[in-house]
Amino acid sequence: MRLLLSNYDLRSRYARTLRDELKDEYGEALLETIIHPTVRIREAADLGIPVLEHDPSSRVARDFTDLAR
pTM: 0.82
CA 61 to CA 20: how far, in whole Å? 25
Complete DSSP assignment for 7-36: S--TTSHHHHHHHHHHHHHHGGGEEEEEE-
Please report the pLDDT score of residue 10 as a whole number.
87
Q: Which pLDDT tens digits describe the chain residue by residue (69 residues)?
A: 999 999 988 899 999 999 999 999 999 999 999 999 999 999 999 999 999 999 999 999 999 999 999
Q: Residue 6 belongs to what H/E stretch?
A: strand 3-6
